Structure 1
């Protein structure tokens, strides 16, 4: 490892969970977000950054930090099935579901196995790459944090019964500076309002502590998590959460002689991770119960280990789901035909040999595709495609140039999800307004939800101030290369 060096400007990336372009623009235009307005007017504003699929936080953060889609980093979602160990991996989807799966197991998945077992060894994180260059980094409030520095994290005594850690402590590799709620705090007297991670005030105070103590490293990654839960209930156009977080950003910028000086000293980036799609109010109309659609098959119960006679395992990620077919005598076609009877399922995807196949409960026909071919998309990726292009809302112009409609970067994102882990499985995507449900999974009526391939959940905003540089393409998966490029400019 090289001796510590400092890039020209420390980079601060503020990841605001569920920040979306439309409510952000309204908050800015109505004067409710002056700090974000300042960054927007004094830098670049990109409103259509593509998030990975499924649009769930652990998958998104893994893509952001590794610069790869799930087929490389192997975090398929918040809820998935490990075929090699025959167990459901859940990182915390809801109290009822995690309780049935086992609270200790879920907590252990999130705190330890996510970074130390599940995140692919063949990829590296921003933290690891910067450390190899001698540039220190910090992670504040992110459950995806893998770095090069061994760190001791501690579980408070009242939570120790919910973990597998001996003496309530575990050693993990992380950045040189890590803050993770009550498990690791930069301020000894810092108060954590939430049980696990810190809330938006905690995150901002930890960042301000680094600035105040002149400890700001070359790269600092901060997550503000609070807005997601609020939008699930209030709807996607709620802006009160943006206003609250903006006040914390104002306080941070106020630490400098002027806001302009804050840009002179640092590169500031603010981004969302996923959007939300509005959900309907009528349970029978808008909640897709996969158990009822697939009731003719033997579905594994989550409160016990998978049995030999179980044919299917259901892993719901809000508006998308993985359906695992365990019975080798049961063809995928049989399950797919049953799924197509529900007109609320707009995309059904599976892999077969070298191709990804697409069907739908809403539209007729089929589509298949594979990487490398005669069609080139707007991200300079080439594809071999055959079938009904409308199933993924693909538009082909002259010279076989491909563009995306309702499902941004759909080919790469579906391909990556289907190749993110082993097993025979099908992906289903719900049409806007609908939410999937299985045994004890949370659902969201009269509010909003995410997880799917749709543009409402996919396109997020990005603000960049303090530099004239921009990512190569408006995709979240490009952020790692962009940050490393900025960090290496001497």
Structure 2
């Protein structure tokens, strides 16, 4: 244990390979310093879908989606018969209804959808009387009522009375224009401050000696650059590193910074490069399943609607509303597209898996027959190649292309109710439905290791997570804070 405060810098879409090259070429001196003075884990396993709201929920609760129940950036609520969308793109958001989407993002995500059966790091610390802070992160649930306010110019876009609502949050919260640590500060991005604004909020806490025992600070800007520039873009890493340099400069020396604070720097998801020809790269689910009536996102669900598509970039949920339609009918058509590498659904005997690019069938469930490298126990039968599984000499399941795939896929399929399939695209391909935003250079969302393995730097402590997975960070953080 340590008396030091813990600062977790979550850099959205930071990946091991470009990070290492940026350091080797002198473009990231702050990250280089923290790496050399601490420990480096290049292959931390993310959550699934590899989308920020699901990953942040896993980070804060230490669970996959079957426990925290945030299935993705967009999903279908079978109980209320409506599409939930936390903001997948302007056109899709506009069609779904701006007011509804903003409310789901700012309020429902934390107060309705994130399960009450799990606790966040903020809630656990509050029980011990320990303070915490959330800077620029949309998953923020804590125990402290906080007054949040929408700027007057944008209040008509929300359903909050007078643009105000009370959030259950950590004692300190900064979320763009909705809640500020520095009352007179200004951000050009209403929903969340940019990397410079984010760093200024953190530096203010350090300068005023208001730094709590735990601070989660998210830099979101790199993700947008990579979608446009490709996975090997270095400029975004360099820009964020300059802000981290300024943060370290708040201390008398950088060595003093790691003497006084435990620093964690992580990525949340990776990106898969897209194929150069956009039309070839896009798997349009409306065309693949053109024989069925697909619900339109701009109107309520109708009786005649048979399917709903919720696309999370390189993965998608396909919901079967019509009870007369069997899984087998949909799967038969999906398997005709060899750009789909995993097709999975819940059955009476567990999780069923097949593919559009490989032959065979696999079924697995929680059990005791065999153990994986994370000491999770499974019953499994069928073609292991479908999930790129291997049985080691110690009779343990190991993973390659799809890290921790058994638990992560099981988590997504048990994250919410309804009749649905999970589909996963091969590297280089992206799903599309109605008004899905395009991703020309890179995308994420799938189970593949390109999006699932992220870096973690730990400096200021010799302690380490039990396993190199994002879901193990909660236990690690709570272990080193007292």
Note the 1:165-204 alignment, pairs <5 A. Answer: 165-204=160-199
Match of residue 3, structure 2, among 3, 8, 31 = 8
Q: Secondary structure at the match of 2:27?
A: coil
Match of residue 480, structure 1, among 464, 470, 474 = 474
Note the 1:52-91 alignment, pairs <5 A. Answer: 52-91=47-86
CA contact (8 A) 1:374 1:400 kept: no
Q: Which residue of 2 aligns with 1:320?
A: 315
Give unpaired runs (5+ residues) of structure 1. Answer: 1-5
In structure 1, distance between residues paired with 2:190 and 2:442: 24
Provide, for residues 12-59 of structure 1, a one-character-per-residue CA deviation record: whole Å limited to 9, x for no partner.
000000000000000101111000000000000000000000000000
In structure 1, distance between residues paired with 2:116 and 2:214: 22
In structure 1, distance between residues paired with 2:195 and 2:9: 11
Q: Secondary structure at the match of 2:296?
A: coil
In structure 1, distance between residues paired with 2:379 and 2:123: 35
In structure 1, distance between residues paired with 2:196 and 2:105: 22
Note the 1:29-428 alignment, pairs <5 A. Answer: 29-428=24-423
Q: Secondary structure at the match of 2:192?
A: coil
Match of residue 24, structure 1, among 1, 19, 26 = 19
Provide, for residues 272-328 of structure 1, a one-character-per-residue CA deviation record: whole Å limited to 9, x for no partner.
000000001213311000000000011101110000111100000000000000111
In structure 2, distance between residues paired with 1:190 and 1:367: 55
CA contact (8 A) 1:70 1:416 kept: yes
CA contact (8 A) 2:178 2:190 kept: no
Q: Secondary structure at the match of 1:181?
A: coil
Query: Taking structure 1 as the reference length, what is the TM-score of the superposition?
Result: 0.97
Provide, for residues 353-412 of structure 1, a one-character-per-residue CA deviation record: whole Å limited to 9, x for no partner.
131000000000100100122221111111111000000000112242110010000000
In structure 2, distance between residues paired with 1:195 and 1:277: 29
Q: Which residue of 2 aligns with 1:448?
A: 442
Tell me the number of residue pairs that the alignment of Structure 1 and Structure 2 aligns: 482
CA contact (8 A) 1:182 1:196 kept: yes
In structure 2, distance between residues paired with 1:66 and 1:195: 27
Query: Taking structure 2 as the reference length, what is the TM-score of the superposition?
Result: 0.99
Distance 1:399 1:250, change over 3 A: closer
Provide the aligned C-alpha RMSD in A. 0.9
Between 251-260 and 280-289, report the one with greater CA deviation.
280-289
In structure 1, distance between residues paired with 2:279 and 2:181: 48
In structure 1, distance between residues paired with 2:445 and 2:108: 22
In structure 2, distance between residues paired with 1:230 and 1:398: 43
Q: Which residue of 2 aligns with 1:3?
A: none
In structure 2, distance between residues paired with 1:98 and 1:297: 24
Q: Which residue of 2 aligns with 1:429?
A: 424
Q: Which residue of 2 aligns with 1:460?
A: 454
Between 469-478 and 370-379, report the one with greater CA deviation.
370-379
In structure 2, distance between residues paired with 1:400 and 1:284: 43
- What's the CA shift for 1:7? 6.0
Tell me which stretches of 4 or more aligned residues in structure 1 moved more than 3 Å: none
- What's the CA shift for 1:127? 0.1
In structure 1, distance between residues paired with 2:462 and 2:260: 14
In structure 2, distance between residues paired with 1:166 and 1:213: 33
In structure 2, distance between residues paired with 1:116 and 1:155: 18
Give unpaired runs (5+ residues) of structure 2. Answer: none
CA contact (8 A) 2:85 2:93 kept: yes
Q: Secondary structure at the match of 2:177?
A: helix
